[in-house]
Amino acid sequence: MASSSSNIDLSGPSFCVVTGASQGIGRAIAVEISKCLGPKSLMLLLARKKQELATTASLCQSDKVEVLYNSIDLAKASEKEMYDVLHQALSGHKASDFSNCLIFHNVGSLGNLAVETSRMENIEELRQYYDLNVFKVISLNTQFLKIFEEVEDRVIIVNITSLCAIKPMGGMAYYCSGKAAREMYFRVLAEEKKQIKVLNYSPGPVETAMIDYVLEEAVNENLKDVFTSFKNQGTLLKPEITAKKCMKVLLAGKFAPGEHVDYFDDE
């Protein structure tokens, strides 16, 4: 891991957004980051499932952190709706009230695993996939940067990526290409905006509902074999374990701008 600046200090009041926070990795990240935030911090949790968001919020709430949540389908939300959700969460606060302004882009999906890469031709389905996993992530990030433009040097962005962003995995053309495009956007942003801290964190193979989805839907036998092996050998990571590693990497602050850091990378 490349070395950059010193440790990231979250002991002051922070504003923190976590997308896909209703379950799995997103919920685990929200819980872990809530433990790190200083007094008078504000968290905003976003996902579609309101009841599950409420559960996550209850796990994050403390004397130091006020937790808000909003049920929103980011795949369909307009730029104005995204901006309004962020702006309304800040009600009564100014951007400059916060020592750190964080956003964790965790929202994502696997895409169609039931079509071979050489047979992909449903452009509308591809558009919908890229809307959620790439275009709307970029759009939400842009709205976040608009709101915190005057304190850009306090902005911290964490994109939850995957080994599949840099290494092809047979049977996962939707997922691999989407993760690659999304990660490259954040790497370019980091190149242009040196004052913003940007981390691409790859959580490793995690025990979530996505694993069962792969086993049920994938037509690529090798892909099925890989994930079956993960499951049978007990090598899948618990969401809480990889979330703790994400916080450790983030707080250490040793990553280069936009660097891809994997759970299994040496510290």
Over residues 81-94, the pLDDT tens digits come to: 999 999 999 998 99
Over residues 58-107, the pLDDT tens digits come to: 999 999 999 999 999 999 999 999 999 999 999 989 999 999 999 999 99
Give percent of the chain above pLDDT 90: 85
Residues 10, 39: contact at Cβ < 8 Å?
A: no
More confident residue, 149 or 234: 149
pLDDT at 159 over 70: yes
Q: Is residue 4, in this structure, part of any structural domain at all? A: no
Residues 245, 237: contact at Cβ < 8 Å?
A: no
More confident residue, 232 or 139: 139
Instruction: Give the number of other CB atoms < 10 A from CB of residue 80.
Output: 10
CA distance to 94, 147, 152, 262, per residue, from 161 (Å): 30, 24, 23, 9
What pLDDT is recorded for position 77? 96
Q: 243 is in which domain, residue-wise?
A: 14-256
Q: What is the CATH number of the domain that holds 75?
A: 3.40.50.720
Q: Is residue 7, in this structure, part of any structural domain at all? A: no
Q: Is residue 3, in this structure, part of any structural domain at all? A: no
Q: Is residue 80, in this structure, part of any structural domain at all? A: yes
pLDDT at 198 over 70: yes
- What's the number of domains the chain is made of? 1
Q: Is residue 265, in this structure, part of any structural domain at all? A: no
Q: Is residue 46, in this structure, part of any structural domain at all? A: yes
pLDDT at 2 over 60: no
Helix residue ranges per DSSP H, 107-208: 123-130, 136-147, 173-192
What pLDDT is recorded for position 267? 62
What pLDDT is recorded for position 209? 79
pLDDT at 28 over 70: yes
Structure tokens at 29: 């990240």
Q: Is residue 173, in this structure, part of any structural domain at all? A: yes
The residues, ordered by sequence, that sit 6+ positions from 262 with a Cβ below 8 Å of its Cβ are 163, 202, 204
Q: Is residue 82, in this structure, part of any structural domain at all? A: yes
Average of pLDDT values for 14-32?
97
